[in-house]
């Protein structure tokens, strides 16, 4: 996932009821009012830090647990730095 965030979709084929939990508040499930959901949608908020971050989504149904890892890039902070200054030949 890019630092700007966005939406991800996870297709779930299950024949048991399951619960969904996320590891952090920057991963938020988008819920719908349908009786049956086959595609779960999540919003990933922008990462304002320069550091990469990692989180997870856990699906649990009966005695089965699936963990989906999410890694998000850090914010690019190269604009306006000394490396962006034009150089002149001597």
Q: What angle do CA 16, 55, 46 make, to 5 degrees?
A: 120
Q: What is the pLDDT of residues 48-73, one digit of tens each?
A: 999 999 999 999 988 889 999 999 99
How far apart are alpha carbons 81 and 68 in whole angstroms? 36
State residue 82 phi and psi, 5-degree precision. -65, -30
In DSSP terms, 28 is beta-bridged to 43
Tally of residues, the chain? 90
Q: Identify the structural domains of the chain with CATH numbers, from first to last.
A: 6-75 (2.60.40.10)
Mean pLDDT of all residues in the chain?
Answer: 81
Residue 32 banded pLDDT, cuts 50, 70, 90: low
Q: In whole angstroms, what separates CA 76 from the centre of its chain?
A: 17
Predicted structure pTM score: 0.52
How far apart are alpha carbons 43 and 57 in whole angstroms? 12
């Amino acid at each position: 996932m890019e630092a700007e965030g966005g939406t991800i979709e996870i297709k779930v084929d299950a024949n048991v009821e399951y619960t969904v939990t996320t590891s952090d508040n920057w991963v938020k499930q988008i819920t719908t009012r349908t009786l049956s959901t086959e595609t779960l949608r999540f919003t990933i908020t922008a990462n304002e830090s320069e550091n990469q971050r990692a989180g997870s989504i856990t699906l649990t149904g009966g005695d089965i647990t699936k963990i989906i890892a999410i890694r998000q890039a850090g914010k690019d902070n190269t604009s306006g730095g000394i490396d962006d200054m034009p150089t002149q030949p001597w």
